[in-house]
Structure 1
Amino acid sequence: MEFLIVLALSVLANDSPASPIVVEDAAVKLIRHVRLPANEPGVLTEFLVKEGDIVEQDQLLAKSDDRLAALDKHIADLEFQVATEKSENDVDERYAEKSLAVAQSEWQLSAEAAQRVATSISATELSKLKLVVEQAKLAREQAQRDLRIAKLTKQVKQRAVESAQQKVELRLTRAPFKGMIVELMTQANEWVDPGQPILRIVQLDRLRVEVNLDGKRYGPELKGRPVKLKVALPPGDREVEFDGEVTFVSPELQPVTGQVRVWAEVINRDLLLRPGSRGTLTIRK
């Protein structure tokens, strides 16, 4: 669970800006939590998680009825296979090449014979043979064009497969980040509409500390400085420390107070921190 520790409290600091900055009673709050919605209208067929489950990024959390989407995907796959076969079938092109070669050879031999013996081949016959050659050339061009169209059709069908797969994916709800499922907001076998929240997930592994400091004394030089958060945790109010560093110093000053907003992030070791906890933050040299 990633939390936000808002520190708008008293800051105990030495006169030197390089000295440790101590903030008491720092509050721990969630920083990243998402209500995941349904993407498509339909029946929510099942949840694959329950409250309290720790999930990984991209883990499947819930499914909606995808029978029609899956059928469309299957049809798109078959159409893509047909288009692939056609795009790789160059039989017509090779046949046209052979036919052209034969026609050209026949015309050439006849033309040479007519030159040797004027009466052996009539002009009409030579014209017909020449026409056959031209027809063979056009047939070759048509075969080449058909093959180019087949390859383009394959690309179109491939995009159709991707589109169909996306529609299937829209029926699946996946975790956007590693975190904990804290609330199921509907039940399996209920109808859901697009945008309707179905579950809530919170990030656990990092916390954020936000503090307002004197803008006249502190600035960008704080970025990267190590921090330590000390919190009393149950049982027995045992004190536990969490390490981190300053990750952001705002370039803006608050116009009324002259304070600057500073963030530090700490690692929630073993997921011990909970929202609402309070502790002491120290920004070190």
Structure 2
Amino acid sequence: MDFILNLPKNEPEERMKNGNLIRMFHLALWSIAIASTAVVASAETIEVDSVLIRLIDQVDVPARAIGSLVEVQTSEGKRVEKGDLLAQIDDTEAQLDYKRATFELDIAMRDAENDVAIRSALKKRVYSKAHFDRLVRAEAAQPRSVSQSELEKARLEAEQAEFEIEKARSDLQNAKTKKDLTANALALAKRNIEVRRILAPQSGEVVEVLRHVGEWVTPGEKIFRIVSIKRLRAEGFVQASQVTEALKGLPVKVVRHDQHDPAQTYSGTIVFVSREIDPVNGQVRIWAEIDNHDGRLQPGHRAHMSITAD
């Protein structure tokens, strides 16, 4: 690089200063070049040659109630969506229980709103107290005009009216509690109907149907198996020396070993890095989640994975 300076004539000190500036300038350019080389060298691609493609989204669908299958709505190879009805267990008894609970709740709700007993007890208290007060006044105005037994009977009737009010209020509160219990019984009856409907817990393809119409099933027994390949796991191993804290979350590219078009790659992200190191080969297991919406990549394929580490 040419660096031209207009140096004053016959001034040695200025010439020396300018020479120092030239040397400092070249040194700065050299430092920038070294730093740029270091930045380029920091970018590394980790190649993982032996990668196995595995399923992520797979589920065994069990029966949740005991009974016989009266309907099966799906078959192997059929595409289902989350919430679709797969099969129906006989729910005749559950339906009858639900109807009974509905009637019982209707009665309980009317009882919980019926305060006739309280209103009747309140009126009886008013009458009993007024009757007792009249007898007391009559006895005070004319002694011995009212017998002691009659006064005692009137007093007991007034006290009994108070007890009847308390009992009526307690009965109404119990009726409200019974209404809540009946509502729970209705919810349980509805639940017993729902658990006899076997629904798809996820979207995907039915790959196994293990029971058919007329067969008896029990809770927890596997009836269907559903898988989805829209996202897959690319699992492989890297040397422990290549594992860093930043490895998880790095982008990856996956290419099948037997793929005719090597340009067709699948993108993904490292989501798991094992904490264990194999003592024999010093490798660490990792896996990436791969986007496979086109469905070309399938579980069991062997592939090559490139991890871009910035």
Q: 8 Å contact 2:52–2:235 — kept in the other structure?
A: no
Report the CA distance between 1:173 and its aligned residue: 0.9
Q: CA RMSD in A?
A: 2.8
User: 1:119, CA displacement in angstroms?
Assistant: 5.5
| Residue aligning to 1:60 | 85
1:174 maps to amino acid? L
Compare CA radii of gyration and give the structure with the larger one.
Answer: 2
From 267, 272, 280, the equivalent of 1:256 is 280
Quote the residue 1:20 is aligned against.
45
Q: Where does residue 224 of structure 1 map in the other structure? A: 249
Structure 2: runs of 5 or more not aligned: 1-40
- Summarize the Cα distance change of 1:100–1:257 in structure 2 as closer, same or farther, 3 Å threshold: farther
For 1:131, the aligned partner's letter is: L
| 1:163-182 correspondence to structure 2 within 5 Å | 163-182=188-207
Unmatched 5+ stretches in structure 1:
1-15
Contact 1:24 1:281 in 2 (8 A): yes
**Aligned-residue offset at 1:113:** 5.0
CA distance in 2, matches of 1:112, 1:244: 98
TM score, norm. by length of structure 2: 0.75
Q: State the percentage of identical aligned residues.
A: 37
Q: Distance in 2 between matches of 1:82 and 1:21?
A: 72
Deviations 1:184-243 (A, max 9, x none): 223223333444432221133321222222223313321222223234898x65743333
Partner of 2:76: 51
Read off the aligned partner of 2:225 and give its amino acid letter.
R
CA distance in 1, matches of 2:173, 2:153: 30
TM-superposed deviation, 1:170: 2.6
- Aligned residues of 2:52 and 2:236 also touching (Cα < 8 A): no
Q: Give 1:283's aligned residue.
A: 307
The structure with the greater share of residues assigned to strand is 1
SS of the equivalent of 2:243 reads: coil
Q: Which amino acid in 2 is paired with 1:257?
A: N
1:72-151 alignment runs, 5 A limit: 72-118=97-143, 121-151=146-176
How many residues in Structure 1 have an aligned counterpart in Structure 2? 269
Alignment partners' CA distance in 2, 1:123 and 1:192: 77
Partners of 2:253 and 2:236 in 1: how far apart? 14
Structure 1 position 96, deviation (Å):
1.8
Q: Contact between 1:17 and 1:218, CA under 8 Å: does it hold in 2?
A: no
- Higher helix fraction: Structure 1 or Structure 2? 2
Change (3 A) 1:158 1:219: farther
The residue aligned with 1:268 is 292
The alignment status of 1:189 with 2:214, answered yes or no, reads yes
Q: Which amino acid aligns with 2:284?
A: V
Q: Which moved more, 1:118-127 or 1:160-169?
A: 118-127
